[in-house]
Structure 1
Amino acid sequence: MNDTRERLLITGERLFRTQGYSGTGLKQLAQEAEAPWSSMYHFFPGGKQQLGAEVIRFAAERYAALIAKAFAAYPDPADAVAAAFKAEAKILAESNFRNGCPVAAVTLDVASTVEELREPCAEAFGLWITTIAQGLAAGGLPAKDARELASHVLSSLEGAILLSRAEKSVAPLERASAFVVPAVRARLQARGRNNRR
């Protein structure tokens, strides 16, 4: 990937996390990425919407890799889910509750009115659900059950991030984790018992 283009995507993701899509201006983005203004339209001739879509896809791949890494690091998928909630709580606390999810920020901001951005947002969430489902399936859940549970995990995590930002407290993430992690563990253990019958 071109260094300037990558800097624009990384900076775009950071700014979307903290101030959303509508609150991020192209001049600010180029300036903070230390990129020439002309490079913005060189790499993203479709303007802000194209940039936004590519930032979402960039963030989607980046976070999918982190999710996969978490599941690879923990033999028990429930521990990987717990780690994801803890990691988000740490990110929020260290950023004074400014660093939310870049895809959620764009979804809330403009996905209902800008189809060119709704589609990559839906694809991003779909990729994360698939990645979580793969981690859960590795723990013995059938693919359909793993995908349904993964959707629940992601919905809970994203909702808890939003509540934590609103409350300026990690308590919503901790409360959500206290329900979600035991639910994941119970589903995995039930599957294990069924397999032994």
Structure 2
Amino acid sequence: MNTREKILTTAAFFFQKNGYHVTGLNKIITESETPKGSLYYHFPNGKEELVTATIKLIGDTIQHYLEEELSKNSNPVQAIEEFILDIAQKFNEKDQENCFSINLLALETVSISESLRKTCIEVYDLWTDTYYQKLVDSGFSSEKAKELSLILQLMIEGAITISLIRNDTTMLVSAAEKIPILLDNK
């Protein structure tokens, strides 16, 4: 792992665990075991640039995971159900600091920076487009897939957020159970 990757990986962990405002750059430098100059070399505009890169990293990681999971089953109902249940299982197996979403980081940062708000929108749109493509590839009309992909995004992200807050997976399991109803007819 190169220095930039070490900094980003460490930043992603601490921004998810402690939040944007609590996580200081010195903590990231110390924990990533990188020189202070390296952080400013790779992120010359400071913390905001680092958070932007972190949101993109988390977004890309989740995007790759989402595409991989949805490609395992040609049936969109089963693929999306299994994806949500897999998130629930991973939630139970690992510390919650592991990235399942950018929700909490997004909520904390969008009001402080237009650039961060736009980065979050890009990530959410990327995920919504992935659901859209899965539905279109499965025979849904473009119009119906557009509507349903947005609902899927809202439902899954909401279930993740509530699961984090409650420290249980009831909402994720409930969301998975509703997928057959939501995607009942094309």
TM-score normalised by structure 1 residue count: 0.86
Shift of 1:140: 0.8
Shift of 1:47: 0.2
Distance 1:165 1:109 in 2: 15
Question: Are 1:183 and 2:181 counterparts?
Answer: yes
Shift of 1:4: 1.0
SS at match of 2:102: helix
Question: Are 1:171 and 2:170 counterparts?
Answer: yes
SS at match of 1:8: helix
Number of residue pairs matched? 186
Distance 1:61 1:172, change over 3 A: same
CA deviations 1:78-122 (Å, max 9, x no partner) are 122112212221232233544454521222112123212111011
Q: Which of 7-16 and 98-107 deviates more?
A: 98-107
Match of 2:81 in 1: 82
5 Å matches for 1:32-47?
32-47=31-46
Match of 1:155 in 2: 154
Contact 2:62 2:101 in 1 (8 A): no
Shift of 1:52: 0.4
Contact 2:101 2:160 in 1 (8 A): no
Q: In percent, how many aligned pairs have the same letter? A: 27
TM-score normalised by structure 2 residue count: 0.91
Shift of 1:64: 1.3
Match of 2:8 in 1: 9
Q: Which of 140-149 and 50-59 deviates more?
A: 140-149
Match of 2:53 in 1: 54
Structure 2, gaps ≥5 residues long:
none
Match of 1:195 in 2: none
Q: Which of 35-44 and 87-96 deviates more?
A: 87-96
Distance 1:21 1:46 in 2: 16
Distance 2:61 2:96 in 1: 21
Structure 1, gaps ≥5 residues long:
192-197
